[in-house]
Structure 1
């Protein structure tokens, strides 16, 4: 499956970001870091799936900690909108109840540093978003 374009991602995130903490730009940068905007991607070494690479455990954690009436299934995580909704709930849970984004995504200290730099660049220069996104992969 080919990746989605930047403008498509902006609209998807704007419509589906459920985070009370993380900006749309942060979410966009995280998805670029994880998948280069490929919604159907799955990690062959884990259960990580979709734009935000959510594992079965992450989806279960969201279901246990999200508002009443909110429920996700791991097999829905290739649906871009549901992945963003679930993933942004997960980001808030990581920030408020767990060890933070760096440890919760299993990549260790500094994981969010390049995402935060990308977020700042996107906010400051919306005319060249791919330049900001490419910062992630340096």
Structure 2
């Protein structure tokens, strides 16, 4: 089991693997922090796995709704780069086809509000990223 990654490690992974056309790197970083505190080994059940807590259903949906040649296996969601690639594609699907991330990714209405607040904070104060991230869990 791998422990939590640092902010710098997550930032690099997100920059290299964010496939979203809708969500900024800062948003993805904040979502990962909210979901797992940067721990890529985190599982919430047998079906929700990795940094972005990707479910088997989300992996299946990404495979079904992305261009040919894009394919993921749920068993690979513990790999941080793969998890971010699949998870960011799923974010776009959630926003555009499933009624938003509050309805399809989080725990209900208002889920994304703290993530958007964190995103704005990260964009405005890159010198102190952990200050923005810790606001999510207050």
CA distance in 2: counterparts of 1:42 and 1:50, whole angstroms? 6
Q: Which runs of 5+ in 2 are unaligned?
A: none
Matches within 5 A, 1:1-138: 1-44=2-45, 47-138=47-138
Contact 2:49–2:55 under 8 Å retained in 1 = yes
CA distance in 2: counterparts of 1:135 and 1:104, whole angstroms? 23
Cα offset, 1:2, TM superposition = 1.0
Q: So what's the TM-score if we normalise by structure 2?
A: 0.97
Q: SS of the residue aligned with 1:111?
A: coil
Cα offset, 1:99, TM superposition = 1.4
Question: How many residues are treated as equivalent by the alignment?
Answer: 137
Q: Deviations over 1:30-87 (max 9, x none)?
A: 000000000111113x511000000000000000011110000000000000000000
Q: Deviations over 1:83-131 (max 9, x none)?
A: 0000000000000011110010240100000000000000000000000
The 4+ residue runs of structure 1 with deviation greater than 6 A are none
CA-atom RMSD, angstroms?
0.8
Assess, with a 3 A threshold, how the Cα gap between structure 1 residues 134 and 27 changes in structure 2: closer, same or farther.
Answer: same
